[in-house]
Amino acid sequence: MNATVLDLRKNMKGVIAALDRNEKVTLTYRGRKKAVIVPCAKKASTMSVSQHPAFGMWADRKDMEDVGGFVRNLRKGRSF
């Protein structure tokens, strides 16, 4: 798809629709090519959250059993 700077202002919905269709958008200014907008590649998640190595790494912490108390203690600040 070719789009002008004015199209970005007036017809952004059409530009986004073209990107959703995985089309490259060539941006022109006064008839000259200035940029190419390329759609982001969608990253496929192959790992569930529970399979992540960091999942549950603080599960055995005894000082965090009361989450509210732990956060209050952190926010309390230091006393000198």
pLDDT at 41: 81
Point out which residues pair with 37 in neighbouring strands.
Answer: 25
Six token digits for residue 77: 């600040």
**Residue carrying the six token digits 């999942």:** 55
How high is the pLDDT of residue 78? 82
Q: How confident is the model at residue 28 (pLDDT cuts 50, 70, 90)?
A: very high
Task: Please state, in angstroms and rounded to a whole number, the distance separating the CA atoms of residues 42 and 78.
Answer: 45
pTM: predicted TM-score of the whole model, two decimal places: 0.50
Residue 21 sits in which domain range? 2-37
Mean pLDDT of 51-67: 88
Question: Does the residue 10 lie in any domain?
Answer: yes
The mean per-residue pLDDT over the stretch 42-53 comes to 80
- Least confidently predicted of 6-10, 16-20, 39-43, 54-58: 39-43
Evaluate whether residue 28 is within a structural domain.
yes
Does residue 6 belong to any structural domain of this protein?
Answer: yes
Number of domains the chain contains: 1
